[in-house]
Amino acid sequence: MNVDAKRLIEQDKAHHVHPQSNLRQHAEHGPTMITHGKGVYIYDTEGNEIIDGFSGLGCVSLGYHNERLSNAAKRQMDILPFAPTFYNRSHPRVAELGERLINLAPGGMNKVMFQCSGSEANDTAIKLLWYTNTARGEPERRKIFGRVRGYHGNTVATVSLSGQPHMHAKFGLPLPEFKHTELPNYYRFHIDGESEEEFSARMAAEFEKLILAEGPETVAAFFAEPAISGGGALMPPEGYWKEMQAVLRKYDIKLVSDEVVCGFGRTGNMWGSETWGMEPDMVSCAKALSAAFFPISALMFKDEMYADMMKNSDEMGTFGHGYTYAGHPVGAAVGLEALDIYEEIDLVGHVRKVSARFLEKCHAMADHPLVAEVRGVGLFCGFELMQDAKARVPFDPALKVGEMVQNFAHDRGLYLRAIGDRMSFMPPLIINEEEIDLATERFKDALDDAWEVVR
Ligand code: PLP
């Protein structure tokens, strides 16, 4: 490592407090310092070339270098670097992006609000649910359901909605309005002999029980990622969405599809909700909306909800919500360019094509002694690591087997993410078949390395 790299790491260690990081580990060892990227590769100050099998944080859909996106940002910065969308003001790029998104959106969406992050999009969704339920004369409909291990962000409300115990403990969260239903991990939680469909029916029945216990008239919405990402690339079991949506319809509870990770092609369709036949009332998206080149997110919803917002506005005047950088001109310009690129290169078609190889290679690891289950769709795959796959005996958590595989993979030039003992593998959507071969080979080698330690 050269002197500059050392200095950077010391600077970072001294002052920069990192989100979602082990603070003690950081204080002792400092960060991995990524200096640049190209295609699916990232490079660090140690001189390592690493395939990013986690797409940054599931966001770098077009890889790490794209002149069209950087030029779009520069062009917009030269023309109009900022304009508020408050006070009935707008600018060309945000108007265009709104229409463009609505044309792409799942059925029924006709309105869009912009923010800068997935958390803000979901937080806005929660506020709009509360705001419009008040307009509809149902102010008591405030409770919001998420799922155990679901992830929807880090504002006070969205982290309450997320089902991540380590993000609640010590913060005095979740807030009381937020409830959690079961994690639909069929492999781990099915009863012996139970089919996927039966398991899904049981998940829905348990959800219904929770709704009845709360009082259905107090439940506003259920937020869900079509496939769970933050909880470890967990695909829904057969029949899950059909059963869950039947319960929601029965009690007039809205479904919010959190497409922050699944949106824009990850699952081989434009939206995860398309892949699994979901019919959401609201859709949040972020990350690949700008291919991660600029922070921008969007929340889409139906005219019916907008009509309720209008009622409140007629009574109150101003709609009392918004962020300074909502619909930022540079984010909007980059978003428009990203959507152009997706269309021109047929990104969804590309994902469908290469995912056949990706999933085949992932499934080939299913008989590795560390791996209990492999399940994926598109370029999104989860691996359950277990001590005994058949008897479903997990590893002793103290062994940190997932983290071990993550570290060995890193040493071999692949960045993957372990969530406990579940590995999440979601490379940039532009990955090609050669890179898939290389990445999966490295993954397999990392599993072998870890097996040598725990066998
Ligand atoms: N929703 C999902 C499904 C996510 O995976 C994330 C972040 O990873 C978020 C929401 C929050 O997005 P952000 O980190 O941009 O606030």
Which of the four pLDDT bands, split at 50, 70 and 90, describes residue 231?
A: confident
Q: How far is the CA of 294 from the centre of ligand 1 (A)?
A: 15
Pairing state of beta strands 282-285 and 178-181? unpaired
DSSP-derived secondary structure for 404-446: HHHHHHHHTTEE-EEETTEEEE---TT--HHHHHHHHHHHHHH
Q: How far is the CA of 152 from the centre of ligand 1 (A)?
A: 5
User: Residue 81 carries which DSSP code?
Assistant: S
Q: Which residues line ligand 1 (CB under 6 A)?
A: 57, 117-119, 122, 151-153, 225, 229-230, 258, 260-261, 286
Q: What is the pLDDT of residues 99-123, one digit of tens each?
A: 999 999 998 999 999 999 999 999 9
Which of the four pLDDT bands, split at 50, 70 and 90, describes residue 3?
A: low
Buried b / exposed e along 316-330 (16+ C-beta atoms within 10 A):
eeeeeebbebbbbbb
pLDDT recorded at residue 187: 95
Q: How far is CA 409 from CA 43, 362, 402, 405, in A?
A: 15, 15, 11, 6
Which of the four pLDDT bands, split at 50, 70 and 90, describes residue 1?
A: low
pLDDT recorded at residue 182: 96
CB 454 within 8 A of CB 421: no
CB 116 within 8 A of CB 328: yes
The residue contributing the CA closest to ligand 1 atom 7 is 153
The residue contributing the CA closest to ligand 1 atom 10 is 152
Q: What is the pLDDT of residues 73-95, one digit of tens each?
A: 999 999 999 999 999 999 999 99
CB 151 within 8 A of CB 122: no
> Whole-angstrom Cα distance, residue 164 to residue 162?
6
Q: How far is the CA of 192 from the centre of ligand 1 (A)?
A: 34
Ligand 1 binding pocket mutation candidate from 114, 122, 151, 156 (most atoms within 8 A of CB): 151
The helix (H) or strand (E) run that includes residue 96 is helix 92-104
User: Residue 395 carries which DSSP code?
Assistant: P
Q: How far is the CA of 431 from the centre of ligand 1 (A)?
A: 22
Q: How far is the CA of 230 from the centre of ligand 1 (A)?
A: 8
Buried b / exposed e along 207-231 (16+ C-beta atoms within 10 A):
bbebbeeeebeebbbbbbbbbbbbb
User: Residue 98 carries which DSSP code?
Assistant: H
Assess whether pLDDT exceeds 90 at residue 44: yes
> Whole-angstrom Cα distance, residue 31 to residue 25?
9
> Whole-angstrom Cα distance, residue 398 to residue 396?
5
Q: How far is the CA of 153 from the centre of ligand 1 (A)?
A: 5
Q: Which two tokens stand for residue 171?
A: 């913060």
**Residue keyed to tokens 């085949």:** 360
The residue contributing the CA closest to ligand 1 atom 13 is 118
CB 308 within 8 A of CB 132: yes
Q: How far is the CA of 175 from the centre of ligand 1 (A)?
A: 19
Q: What is the pLDDT of residues 166-208, one digit of tens each?
A: 999 999 999 999 999 999 999 999 999 999 999 999 999 999 9
- Predicted TM-score (pTM) above 0.80: yes
ipTM: 0.99
> Whole-angstrom Cα distance, residue 385 to residue 423?
8
Q: What is the pLDDT of residues 283-335, one digit of tens each?
A: 999 999 999 999 999 999 999 999 999 999 999 999 999 999 999 999 999 99
CB 151 within 8 A of CB 162: yes
CB 33 within 8 A of CB 45: yes
Ligand 1 binding pocket mutation candidate from 122, 152, 271 (most atoms within 8 A of CB): 152
CB 372 within 8 A of CB 391: no
Ligand 1 binding pocket mutation candidate from 287, 290, 380 (most atoms within 8 A of CB): 287
Q: Which two tokens stand for residue 179?
A: 């409830």
